[in-house]
A and B are shown apart, each in its own frame.
Chain A
């Protein structure tokens, strides 16, 4: 079997298994679909790891139906649709599949009553993500984007609770709009270049130079991908959807789906537009600012939440902002940092969502104030949650630390500063919640007291060791030393733009003062030493704090009309940046 035959199999396997499960679920014993789903996810992961190894020798390309660029007998005309595995795409696909495997193990026993519908939807979701990573055709990218979205909408609404339905409604409307933008952008790019193949488009863009139609197409496609990646001001849907989806689904949303949006953007910028000065100007200018703004807003909002899933959702927003700022830097080291951060963050965030799921099942709440001192008896999840908080907050160990080091290596001082503050805010928020729940330490509640929350729970009588095992495994993998992945990472970052480029030499790790971790510790201490304001000056200070966090919360109003208005504002900002 030639290596390129694996490419379609990695997508067709989960699609085929999903179709079979849907057809046969009525006759199969209840346990079988769950096992099949786990095995399928791990098989896809194995196939993608095989692809990483093969693509290290050069890109693996598969043209569907044999429609290679030579088949049309005309130069410049690419009629076929191709899949291409470079090390970065294959690695992200493998990571997604692995996270699905972990989520399936975690969800064991959660969805027993329904005829494997959960597993069917999840496998569709997996197929869409792998396709999204591997495709080299813009319209095909759009189709996987849509398939990913539709599976995600249905999974969000799955519990059919009040909030789940409302969150799914908002999620669907914003993403439907995003997909229209993406389709219109695809149309414009096709009109400008007469092709949909990334490599062929890149050649034509390089020949045309700057063209308003191409810039317009890029802006539309980028806004759609930024909506998926929850970047300011397109980020409002995320907290609602991630907070209300069942926790195994939130694991995938936060861990893999949103960072794939950024990966799509990175691929587009690296393969299609490197020669377009206007687009690159937007990427290095506006996207950098949007990333930094997202990081700060996400960090502050995460710190002011009490509903654990909502807190983790905003922390995801902050980390996506950090990733976008690395991507916008445009250097090879920055791209390497972005790729590693996407995987490291996905592992940690997936683990944290699973730990919240354990609390929802065993302690019937996800509210850190309601859960105060409810932790004893769950020592392993408690330790894991503290470890997760430390890793988010800049613990100098493992993949996330390596990625931060790469990002800071090429970033300017203000960027590093904002990234450090955002990191510390998200880490301190998780640590504050973990210490309240598992250690019983607490200061007087601050702005988080006013945040939205809800009483809810998830199916309780599931085997606790099957729920605790996946987050522990994910966190252990996050501790892989940077040096172990550096060679593959260098090749991955270089070959994202040039399929035959030499591996990038990555700067070695230096021993530095862990500023982010210190800041995390300070914010954590502040949350714990807080007392009720007794003097009039303290009360005035608290009033100012309440007012400012209240204003920030009010912007995240939960109304679909506001979300769509902010999307329009985002488009206007792009237009203004292009003209200005």
Chain B
């Protein structure tokens, strides 16, 4: 495996983290979280990649041909499903937060600490 996927994964993860840390809007923050998640996909697919190999599907060509690693692809698929569930849950929470607080600024969301600016 070349170095490129490692760099791309590290870069995506770092960019996503920067976005989360500095975000001023929850939906933007959830987007950044998805960017971080993409970093893991790139890393995993890169780990399973074999140069010159075909897809791990053997119905039209004989077993024994070189193929990329199907296990990491299964891992990525499983995680895409989980990631979708988590994003949906976070967006649902964001909608409820907007209804109750009339703001989606993560800097204003501090549990148990009544904010001074907005009235309860």
Contacts and interface: CB of A to CB of B under 8 A. Distances in A.
A172 B44 CA distance: 23
B68 interface: no
Interface in A554-580: 557-561, 564-565, 568
Contacts of A559: 106-107, 109-110
A345 B78 CA distance: 34
A453 B75 CA distance: 42
Interface of A (DSSP majority class): helix
A150 B85 CA distance: 8
B17 A564 contact: yes
B75 A187 contact: yes
Contacts of A153: 86, 89
Contacts of A560: 20, 29, 106, 109
Nearest to A173: B33
Contact of A244 (B47, B93, B111): B111
A310 B112 contact: yes
Contact of B100 (A162, A557, A568): A162
Contacts of B20: 173, 177, 560-561, 564
A179 B33 contact: no
Nearest to A187: B44
B112 to A, nearest CB: 4
A237 to B, nearest CB: 10
B78 A168 contact: no
B15 interface: no
Interface in B1-40: 9, 13, 17, 20-23, 26, 29, 33, 36-37, 39-40
A454 interface: yes
Contact of A167 (B39, B86, B111): B111
B93 A157 contact: yes
Interface string A161-194: 1111111111011001101100110111011000
Interface string B76-108: 001100110110011001101100110000110
- The bracket for how many chain B residues form the interface is 35 or more
Q: Which of B23, B85, B110 has the most CB of A within 10 A?
A: B110
A541 interface: no
A154 interface: yes
A307 interface: yes
Contact of B109 (A161, A169, A183, A184): A169
Contacts of B40: 180, 183-184, 187
Contacts of A169: 26, 90, 93-94, 97, 109
A203 interface: no
A164 B107 CA distance: 16
B44 A166 contact: no
A160 interface: yes
A443 interface: no
Nearest to B97: A165
A246 to B, nearest CB: 14
A145 to B, nearest CB: 10
Q: What is the interface of chain B mostly: helix, strand, loop, or mixed?
A: helix
Interface in A446-481: 452-454
B117 interface: no
Interface string B48-83: 000000000000000000000001100100110011
A163 B13 CA distance: 29
B82 A179 contact: yes
Contact of A180 (B23, B39, B75, B97): B39
A215 B96 CA distance: 41
Contacts of B13: 180
Contacts of A290: none
Contacts of B78: 139, 143
Nearest to A456: B112
A172 B78 CA distance: 18
Nearest to B9: A184
Contacts of B9: 184
B22 to A, nearest CB: 7
A409 interface: no
A244 B112 contact: yes
A172 B113 CA distance: 19
Contact of B72 (A146, A166, A172, A187): A187
Contacts of A150: 82, 85-86, 89
A561 B26 CA distance: 11
A179 B39 CA distance: 12
Interface in A293-327: 307, 310
A243 interface: yes
A109 to B, nearest CB: 25
A240 interface: yes
Nearest to A240: B111
A240 B112 CA distance: 8
B89 A172 contact: yes
Nearest to B100: A162
Query: Ordered nearest first, which 8 A-B pairs have the shortest CB separation?
Result: A558-B110, A167-B111, A166-B111, A452-B112, A163-B111, A166-B109, A187-B44, A191-B47
Interface of B: 9, 13, 17, 20-23, 26, 29, 33, 36-37, 39-40, 43-44, 47, 71-72, 75, 78-79, 82-83, 85-86, 89-90, 93-94, 96-97, 100-101, 106-107, 109-114, 120
Given A153-B86, A183-B79, A310-B112, 13 more contacts: A139-B75, A143-B78, A153-B89, A157-B93, A183-B40, A184-B9, A187-B75, A188-B43, A190-B71, A240-B111, A558-B113, A561-B23, A561-B107
22 contacts: A139-B78, A143-B82, A146-B82, A153-B89, A157-B93, A162-B101, A168-B93, A169-B109, A172-B93, A173-B20, A173-B29, A177-B36, A183-B79, A187-B72, A188-B47, A196-B71, A557-B110, A558-B111, A558-B113, A559-B110, A561-B22, A564-B17
